[in-house]
Amino acid sequence: MIDVEFDLESFTALDMHNFLKATQENDLLAMGEILASGIITKCPTEWGSPDDPMSYMKRPYFTIFQELVTALASAGNELSKN
């Protein structure tokens, strides 16, 4: 599991709309920008700053980037259950 922390309280309906749209369009840069907009508050220090989209864009797509997207969805599902 990737060592990241999400601030789902700051993840607005507009953020979700934009994230889903970016996902459907395979707009990875937009996805990275959304993740860096305050949604991810902590990431491994070797990646860079959590508010820099390149911290996510420079990760391997088939392992880490996809895992970030899955982790965000899982965190949202867990919050929805509570």
Domain span at 65: 5-81
What tens digit of pLDDT does each residue of 21-32 get? Answer: 999 999 999 999
Three-state DSSP at 42 gives strand
- Non-local (6+) Cβ contacts of 55 within 8 A are 36, 43, 47, 48, 49
Alpha carbon distance 63, 56 (integer Å): 12
What tens digit of pLDDT does each residue of 47-78 get? Answer: 999 999 999 999 999 999 999 999 998 888 88
Name the domain count of the chain. 1
Let me know: does 53 contact 32? Beta carbons within 8 Å: yes
Backbone φ and ψ of 62, nearest 5°: -75, -10
Evaluate if pTM is beyond 0.85.
yes
Per-residue confidence (pLDDT) for residue 57, from 0 to 100: 96
The DSSP secondary-structure symbol of 32 reads: H
